[in-house]
Amino acid sequence: MTPTILIADDEVLLARVLQTELTALWPESKIVSVVHDGVAALEAAREHQPLVAFLDIRMPGMSGMDVARELIEFDPPPLVVFVTAYDQFALEAFERAAVDYVLKPVQHERLEATVNRLKARLAVMAEDEPAAAQLDNDRLAQLLTRLESLENATPERGAPGQRGQYLRFIKALVGQEVRIIPVDEVIYLEATDKYVNVVSASGEALIRTSLRELIQQLDPERFWQIHRGTVVNISCVASAVNQSLGRLSLRLRDRPESLPVARQYAHLFKQM
């Protein structure tokens, strides 16, 4: 099978250099698409179903991390290599997760090592595709969770355990009334088009803010992201249930609905 590659980098010159280097280092591969923003990257991935995706971390529209979160849901998902200018502190996250990365500017020797690792991973996947793909998915999911925590970490947010520095109340407009919802009563948060639906013990209410913005103000030990558009209060979770094809859903305490868990967050519930 011909290894197919997607390249996504918002710097046109760097994308061209990467394309040239990959063509020289891996002549048997085929670069199916070169794009320059995250939305185009996801569209190209859906169209071409590449075996490998080189994703710039910082891109307009959708970041490389946003695209990777979507690629995890592909069947089969591609191997992801991040192209990054991150500093050493963030690179430790890549090393721990065993997910490959290429630093900007691209260096021939480093890219050659990456290509050799990709060839080895593709060979393993050819022999035992489900198990190998699941292992790579778990590693990528752990990396995305770690990078997300690094991106969200700000001095104002405070360290775990400093509860006074996290959001205590959410103000929501319900009709003509401003409802004050204690964060302790929030069961889960769900993103809609332009709003976040706050589901609490006293009912539901919409607030006009982004879920990403809200996450940064919540205690990460209590509020866990389980999907791109869903954050749950872990104290309200009764159990994690295995569904078909390795998918998970969460049963809530005293609530009839179940919440699906995206593959990238499934590792959070392995021990439940």
Element spanning 7, H or E: strand 4-8
Q: What is the rounded CA–CA span in Å between residue 44 and residue 7?
A: 10
| 173 has pLDDT over 80 | no
* CATH class for the domain made up of 163-269: mainly beta
- What's the pLDDT tens digit per position in 199-226? 998 889 888 888 888 888 899 889 999 9
Encode burial over 133-151: b for 16+ CB neighbours within 10 A, e otherwise: beebbbbbbbbbbbbbeee
The domain spans of the chain are: 4-152, 163-269
Q: Can you name the residues that pair with 30 across neighbouring β-strands?
A: 4
Q: pLDDT higher for 95 or 104?
A: 104
pLDDT band at 128 (very low <50, low <70, confident <90, very high): low
- What's the pLDDT tens digit per position in 237-254? 999 998 776 688 999 998
Q: pLDDT higher for 82 or 98?
A: 82
Residue 10 in contact with residue 37, Cβ under 8 Å? Answer: yes
Pairing, β 52-56 against β 4-8: parallel
- What's the pLDDT tens digit per position in 1-34? 799 999 999 888 889 999 999 999 999 999 999 9
Q: pLDDT higher for 41 or 138?
A: 41
Tell me, what DSSP letter sits at residue 86?
-
CATH of domain 4-152: 3.40.50.2300
What pLDDT, on the 0 to 100 scale, is given for residue 157?
38
